[in-house]
Amino acid sequence: MRKGGVLHAEVEIEVPFFDVDSMDVVWHGHYVKYFEVARCALLDRIGHGYRQMREAGFAWPVIDLQLRYVRGAVFGQKIIVRADLIEWENRLLINYLIRDAQSGERMTRGSSTQVAVDVASREMQFSSPAVFVDAVARTLA
């Protein structure tokens, strides 16, 4: 199991029909979308979601994404997607775990790495902006 974070958020998703293939199994690319839903919930918990990032003058592109599929989700299945904040001072590293809502069985795990980019100059920042680090500190307090 991957390392848990200092903060986390969980969301429950019922797999919709439009996310599955002809075998009723979730197409592999949709797991990234499920990670994003949990990541947004985590950022909202911190009080510094994508709107606040943009207002602060920074974009946060994903520079690395890792996924490990254990078992496919199927149409109508309820899944829990957990996002754990691992690193935030120099980059944004989040670990994810998708599990079956009923049994708790682990289905997919992964991680994403994002870096701050100054919107005006388009320059990558080598440390996270103070406004984001401060938001995490306030949430941890």
Contact by Cβ (8 Å): 93, 30: no
pLDDT band at 2 (very low <50, low <70, confident <90, very high): low
pLDDT band at 133 (very low <50, low <70, confident <90, very high): very high
Residues in the chain: 141
Task: Please name each of the domains of the chain with its CATH number.
Answer: 7-140 (3.10.129.10)
Residue 113 CB partners (closer than 8 Å, separation 6+)? 62, 63, 64, 65, 91, 92, 93
Residue 1, pLDDT above cutoff 60: no
Whole-number CA gyration radius for the chain: 16
What would the pLDDT profile of 59-81 be if each residue is shown by its tens digit? 999 999 999 999 999 999 999 99
What would the pLDDT profile of 17-70 be if each residue is shown by its tens digit? 999 999 999 999 999 999 999 999 999 999 999 999 999 999 999 999 999 999
Q: What does the pLDDT read at residue 5?
A: 87
The closest of 103, 116, 97 to 35, measured between CA atoms, is: 97
